[in-house]
A and B are shown apart, each in its own frame.
Chain A
Amino acid sequence: MTSENASVDFFEQCGDELAIGSEIYNKVLGFYHKEARLLDNLKFMEWAETLATDIQYNVPIRQTRLVKDSQSSVLYSMRHMYEDYRSLMGRAMRLSGNSAWAEDPASRTRRFVSNLAVFATGTEGEYAAVSYLLITRNRFDDDHFDLIPCERRDIVRLEDGVWKLAKRDVILDQVLLGTPNLAIFL
């Protein structure tokens, strides 16, 4: 059993932070706004077009640990999602099909993206982006919302003038997840 922690690596690769309002920063922010719009409007196949074909997409589990053991509070030995391009396309196809009952009728979701920071990386055309995400999810007659607050640590890439998501690590704020499944994308 391993307890590797990939989040440390993420911040090691972050170079200079781009100024808020600079051209690239605004482009990346626009990418996230568009992504939220596509997912909240159930445009899964259009969203899938924004994925790089070498994408790595992870949602590690969390554990409640003492502060001195906090490196073990995010664990990649087990994950809620562990995806590559093929599996994400599979999920998008399932949701676009006829029998994805977990999301048909669909949840009403809203993705609030904030606190965006964009960093240069050692690779031309690739940027590290950290953002906060709050998803509100409502199903059927529920008079409550499932709240899914998290931090996303992404690599976004400019491929032939098109922005693509090349890597995503989603750090959830709940140990015991309060929504019955992750049939939605984070």
Chain B
Amino acid sequence: MSGNNNRRLADGSTIADLIDLDRREVQLRTLSDREIYEWEQEKIFGKTWLLLGHESEIPNDGDFVQRFMGDDSVIVARHKGEVFVSLNVCPHRGMKITTQDAGTASIHKCIYHGWAFRGNGDFLGSPVADQCMHGTISTKEELALKQARVTLYGGLIFATWNIDGPSFEDFLGDAKWYYDMLFCRSDKGMEVAGPPQRFVVRANWKAAGEQSAADGFHTLTLHRWLGEVGNYKKDDGESGDLTPEMFGAEVSSPHGHALRCIDLNRKIRRLTGKDPEELSTEEKLRVLPPPGMTGEAFEQLKRNLSPEQLEVMAWMPPQVGGMFPNVLFGYVYIPQADGSVVGSMTLHAYVPKGPDKLEFTNWIFVEKDTPPELREKMVMQTIQLFGTSGMVEQDDSDTWPHMTLTAKGPQGRFSTMKYQAMYETGKPEGWPGPGIVNEGFTKDDTQWHWWKYWYDLMTAED
């Protein structure tokens, strides 16, 4: 790790003082300090690629939605078929160009003084230009809305202010091989069920962000109800053991991305009554297709993924994890009371709203060609388990605020979060995928790699 470690907080500390790289500990004050929050706006939310939505939210020319990149509001608009992300700030006097969450407009006109812009941010003009309303000092080009750099991936809209920085592909690195299995597996692609759920949690965004980097352990305790009265209780009504769900492989990344690949063998054995070892990849994928797909969709999977990706999809598909800095994905296979399995596909962005507040933005996805009955089941199940009222995630959103509060105590802020459960295994035998991969019971490595990338970015030269 290299970079500019010299910048100091008001008390003289550097970022290097907050993270003990040898002991794998992070000081809690990272979750409460306003100065750190402000640096993050510049060094993280000003630099990395950020998830803003999905192109199915703005299918037609002129469609737009309002989203956030860090503390900045942006307009995500479709203009002549392309997606543009413009800073939602009028270059005239700083009024928001749009105050709506979504809409359709060929021209975005500021309600304050009437300056007008196209969906791509181009400045069209001011209402009394003949009386020199926008002057002659600034050119029309200079009066355009500030543009973020945009990329589409599986229809997902990502943007960054880092115009000359790494490509999205470089940012994903080896993790892309696994994300492709989630976002690029079908012929027609995914679509959102609707606009996202949005709610506020009084917690630092990193309390949610570091958890999204594949924290497996918390499932055993915080989500214990799943085994007691939820989907993982035993058929005879006795409490189920969640520990088998902790086995699999975990993929981490030098860029803080993380994926927990959970073994499907027990589910396949239950569905078929056969030893999964005796079944081919195709047989397994036809019996237990990925969320949003039916067995007949195998041909699609075959067209869109490599044989090696198919093998992992049938064996230990990525089910939960994150994308640095603030995205969680849940592409999970949920057991039903009748013995079948229904999938869920959900993505969250934990948008920072100050050192002790985050906006939880939750999109639910289906495949465009998910059969209507399955689609309805998926959306209903996903709402019931994840997001605002989700019986799983309501426990998370009540936990992060406490961490944020303890991080404010004059003693507590110097306590540390510890990531000392370390893998010593390496890849599963025969694992065909790239990246940092470890097999076995969940560990802390993925989350530690998340913090290491946070450290890299926070100490990077400008």
Measured CB to CB, the residues of A under 8 A from B are 1-3, 59, 61, 63-66, 69, 72, 75-84, 87, 90-91, 93-94, 97-103, 139, 175-183
Contact = CB atoms under 8 A, between A and B. Distances in A.
Interface range on chain B (Cβ under 8 Å from partner):
35 or more
B101 A90 contact: no
Given A72-B102, A79-B383, A181-B199, A97 B228 contact: yes
B193 A77 contact: yes
30 contacts: A3-B194, A61-B196, A61-B198, A64-B99, A65-B100, A65-B101, A65-B102, A65-B103, A72-B102, A75-B194, A75-B195, A78-B192, A78-B193, A78-B196, A80-B197, A80-B383, A83-B384, A84-B380, A94-B230, A99-B228, A101-B222, A103-B394, A176-B199, A178-B199, A178-B200, A180-B397, A181-B389, A181-B390, A181-B394, A182-B389
B193 A1 contact: yes
Interface centre among B59, B102, B200, B389 (most CB of A within 10 A): B389
Interface in B339-388: 359, 364, 379-380, 383-384, 387-388
Contacts of A69: 100, 103
A72 B103 CA distance: 9
B22 to A, nearest CB: 33
Nearest to B225: A99
Contact of A102 (B195, B359, B394): B394
Given A75-B194, A178-B200, A183 B101 contact: no
A3 B384 CA distance: 20
A38 B359 CA distance: 31
Interface of B: 56-57, 59, 99-103, 191-202, 222, 224-225, 228-230, 359, 364, 379-380, 383-384, 387-391, 393-395, 397-399, 401
A3 B195 CA distance: 9
Contacts of B384: 81-83, 87, 90
B202 A180 contact: yes
B102 A61 contact: no
Contacts of A72: 102
A180 B228 contact: no
B397 A77 contact: no
Given A1-B59, A80-B197, A94 B391 contact: yes
Contacts of A183: 389, 394, 398
A181 B101 contact: no
A96 B356 CA distance: 31
B391 A91 contact: yes
Contacts of B57: 1
B393 A181 contact: yes
B388 A181 contact: yes
Contact of B200 (A65, A94, A98, A180): A180
Contacts of A64: 99-101
B383 A90 contact: no
Given A1-B57, A64-B101, A81 B391 contact: no
Contacts of A91: 391
Contacts of B393: 181
B292 to A, nearest CB: 15
Nearest 3 A-B pairs (CB), nearest first?
Answer: A77-B194, A78-B194, A177-B199
A78 B197 contact: yes
